[in-house]
Structure 1
Amino acid sequence: MLITVTRSGGFAGVEKARELDTRGLRDAERWEELAHRAVAPRPDGFHYRITVDDEAIDLQDPYLSEDQRTLIQALMEGAA
């Protein structure tokens, strides 16, 4: 299994990616189970996409910052 993690953003806007090929690793099963759990959708959580002009971000509940949660709640409740 090939596992890839890509990080972008931050102040410098630098993208960094790391890959792990689990073939032949003694602890391959542990890595593969972790990877499957990490990408599994949360059936009880909402998914959001916030778009500001041409910039978009995909989010999933419960992993929202306070600002993201506030914006989502205000717009979804029609407070605008």
Structure 2
Amino acid sequence: MLITVTRTGGFAGRERTGSLDTAYRVDGAELERLAERSLSDEAPPARPVPDGFSYVVHIDGKVLELHDPYLTDDQRQLVGAVLGEGV
């Protein structure tokens, strides 16, 4: 499973992108479960907040648009793992 996250916004307004392919990772099965749960999670419709981060998450052709602080726990863990910020 290919997962790509692009984060924009924040105080500095920098863009950051990360990708990973679960087929080549020891923790691939757990990341795939996080991705599936993230796609099915019902997050409240949200608009970006000033100085907050916005995310575009691509998971095998499906796209999620997310905004802080409205991410679910699974979505936050997935974004952190893909951007290399811990799970």
Pick the structure with greater CA Rg: 1
TM-score (norm 1): 0.49
The structure with higher relative contact order (CA 8 Å, sep 6+) is 2
